[in-house]
């Protein structure tokens, strides 16, 4: 009887866990050693755009055009002045109890023209100092090689990422970075959000380098980036892993998608298609050695109907397929912010990644807004995308490399909406890890600082520190969200506390 009763309670306990529904807050801890920290990117924070021998990047060129393509006509010339504030930024991280910091290397700061025949010692020095400071303070550096600021000279020389001529330049730059910093940097990512680079930079032209070639160019761009990543992985494996150890991944951005009508199988199919076009397009070749079947089928058929002799989506030849199918990532970085509704109603427009999918997306007006038109608050989407990644790629290791919320410049430091966003999203991550068994090893919130938000300039703020962009010294002030994350980081999860202490 006794053991039966125990079994009975155990079963009910399990059902309780499983049933823990989407709205119910979960108290609990993340696995020991879970990594916590914040993210930034070179162009958005460093400033010092022409100091100490730095070369010109495509973002310098893009933001200096007249008329300005940036909403508030600003640029990253000064940004957060982080080039001169390593000590202060590391102190801010330390104050928050962060164990990890993700930043990117400015390629043109290290290699002014992008090529290894001209190395800027001052650039190496700056990152050496930052890395050493982090390690001294018990904070692990997570380094991104490419967060969008391509040396202008390489753009001019090759035409940029749509050209496979870019591959050796990237691999040589990566090799230099590994050789200089690999003794201390153990977590590397090659590219940040190739989707944005290829669609927004080389397709719509809204981001640098401002190229508007929507039909075919973004796929070529994706193809080059995937090959550049793969060759870098092989080089890392052969020359650096044996010596330094460490892991190499890539950062892929993906929202979650919900069927407009969950009882309509067409909409349900469209959800999987949306995920494969957004996430699978980049992850699938690196994990399985080929583009997702559904993406292959749709783009091939559309291209044929357009009377083209070949598909707009390039193909990996046999040698490449074999090479890739061994798997060329150690983990997947995930940047996740928001969710979209999906219906099987095709999007109209010229042939492109958008129309190829035969679906349309929109956001529900009931979802809470942020300062960014694309970012609505849907915390459960985070748990869903983590589960989809787990199920699609065999529970591969995931490092959350970005997640965050924007408000406007005049918002005060009591950023309750951001606190609420972080609280709900990380609680869904806790459910994904502890209930669903998703292999997430760390979380890096976006961002340590308010910063230059690309085409939106300084009109949208994602920082947990408020930066005074009117002050020549770019003073930083912690917001309430910094205190919230500190508690989360320190507790490694959510401890049940008295109501009065709770955020």
Ligand X SMILES: *[C@@H]1O[C@H](CO)[C@@H](O)[C@H](O)[C@H]1NC(C)=O
Residues forming contacts to ligand X in the complex (CB under 6 A) are: 112-113, 118, 153, 156, 395-397, 439, 468, 470-471
CB of 144 within 8 A of CB of 104?
A: yes
Comparing CB distances to ligand X, the nearer of 200 and 371 is 371
* Helix, coil or strand: residue 154: helix
Is 125 marked active-site? no
CB of 348 to ligand X, least distance (A): 41
- The full DSSP string for 324-353 is HHT---SEEEEE---EEEEESSPPPSSSSH
CB of 199 vs ligand X, minimal distance in Å: 27
**Residue 23 burial by Cβ neighbours in a 10 Å radius (0-12, 13-18, 19+):** exposed
Nearest Cα to 174, choosing from 208, 132, 134, 146?
146
Least separation in angstroms between residue 156's CB and ligand X is 6
- Closest residue by Cα to residue 106 from 82, 85, 134, 90: 82
The residues near 465 (Cβ < 8 Å, ≥ 6 apart) are 92, 448, 449, 450, 476, 477, 478, 479, 482
- What lies within 8 Å, CB to CB, of 71 at 6+ separation is 455, 456, 457, 459
Taking phi first (over 0 means left), then psi (-120 to 50 degrees means alpha), and beta for anything else, what does residue 400 get?
A: beta
Q: At its nearest, how many Å lie between ligand X and the CB of residue 329?
A: 9
d(CA 178, CA 113): 19
Is 41 or 332 the residue whose CB approaches ligand X more closely? 332
CB of 254 to ligand X, least distance (A): 19
Count Cβ atoms within 10 A of the Cβ of residue 36 and give its class: 0-12 exposed, 13-18 middle, 19 or more buried: buried
Nearer to ligand X, 305 or 470 (CB): 470
Tell me how far, at minimum, the Cβ of 107 lies from ligand X, in Å: 13
The catalytically annotated residue of 140, 193, 216, 402 is 402
Region of residue 160 (phi > 0: left; psi between -120 and 50: alpha; otherwise: beta) = left
Cis peptide before 98 (omega within 30 of 0): no
- Our CB check for ligand X shows the closer of 411 and 495 to be 411
The number of angstroms, rounded, from the C-alpha of 264 to the middle of its chain's C-alpha atoms is 32
Strand residues in 203-296 grouped as ranges (E): 247-253, 256-259
Residues with catalytic function: 402
């Amino acid at each position: 009887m006794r053991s039966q009763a125990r079994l009975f309670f155990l079963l009910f306990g399990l059902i309780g866990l499983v049933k823990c529904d989407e709205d119910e807050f979960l108290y609990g801890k993340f696995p020991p050693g879970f990594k916590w920290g914040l993210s930034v990117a070179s162009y958005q924070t460093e400033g010092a755009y022409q100091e100490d021998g730095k070369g010109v990047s495509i973002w310098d060129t893009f933001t200096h055009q007249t008329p300005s393509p940036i909403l508030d006509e600003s640029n990253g010339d000064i940004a957060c002045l982080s080039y001169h504030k390593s000590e202060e930024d590391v102190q801010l991280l330390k104050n928050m109890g962060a164990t990890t910091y993700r930043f990117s290397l400015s390629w043109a700061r290290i290699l002014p023209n992008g090529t290894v025949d001209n190395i800027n010692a001052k650039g190496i020095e700056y990152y050496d100092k930052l890395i050493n400071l982090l390690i001294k303070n018990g904070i692990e550096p997570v380094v991104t090689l490419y967060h969008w600021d391509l040396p202008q000279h390489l753009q001019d020389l090759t035409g940029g990422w749509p050209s496979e001529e870019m591959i050796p330049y990237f691999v040589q730059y990566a090799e230099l970075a590994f050789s200089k910093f690999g003794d201390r940097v153990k977590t590397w990512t090659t590219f940040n959000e190739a989707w944005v680079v290829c669609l927004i930079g080389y397709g719509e032209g809204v981001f640098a380098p401002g190229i508007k070639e929507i039909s075919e160019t973004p796929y070529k761009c994706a193809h080059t980036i995937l090959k550049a990543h793969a060759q870098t992985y092989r080089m890392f494996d052969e020359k650096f892993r044996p010596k330094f150890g460490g892991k190499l991944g890539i950062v892929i951005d993906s929202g979650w998608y919900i069927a407009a009508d969950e009882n309509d199988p067409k909409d349900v199919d469209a959800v999987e298609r949306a995920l494969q076009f957004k996430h699978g397009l980049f992850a699938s070749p690196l994990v399985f050695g080929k583009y997702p079947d559904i993406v292959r089928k749709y783009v091939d058929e559309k291209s044929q109907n357009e009377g083209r002799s070949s598909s707009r989506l390039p193909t990996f030849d046999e040698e490449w397929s074999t090479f890739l199918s061994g798997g060329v990532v150690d983990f997947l970085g995930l940047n996740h912010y928001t969710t979209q509704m999906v219906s099987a109603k095709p999007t109209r427009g010229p042939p492109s990644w958008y129309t190829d999918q035969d679906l349309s997306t929109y956001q529900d007006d009931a979802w809470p807004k942020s300062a960014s038109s694309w970012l609505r608050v849907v915390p459960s989407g985070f748990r869903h995308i983590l589960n989809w990644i787990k199920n699609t790629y065999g529970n591969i290791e995931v490092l959350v490399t970005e997640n965050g919320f924007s408000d406007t410049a005049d918002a005060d430091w009591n950023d309750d909406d951001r606190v609420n966003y972080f609280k709900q999203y990380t609680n869904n991550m806790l459910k994904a890890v502890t209930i669903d068994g998703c292999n997430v090893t760390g979380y890096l919130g976006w961002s340590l600082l308010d910063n230059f938000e690309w085409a939106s300039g300084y009109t949208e703020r994602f920082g947990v520190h408020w930066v005074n962009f009117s002050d020549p010294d770019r003073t930083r002030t912690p917001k309430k969200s910094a205190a919230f994350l500190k508690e989360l980081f320190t507790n490694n999860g959510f401890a049940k506390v008295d109501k009065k202490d709770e955020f």
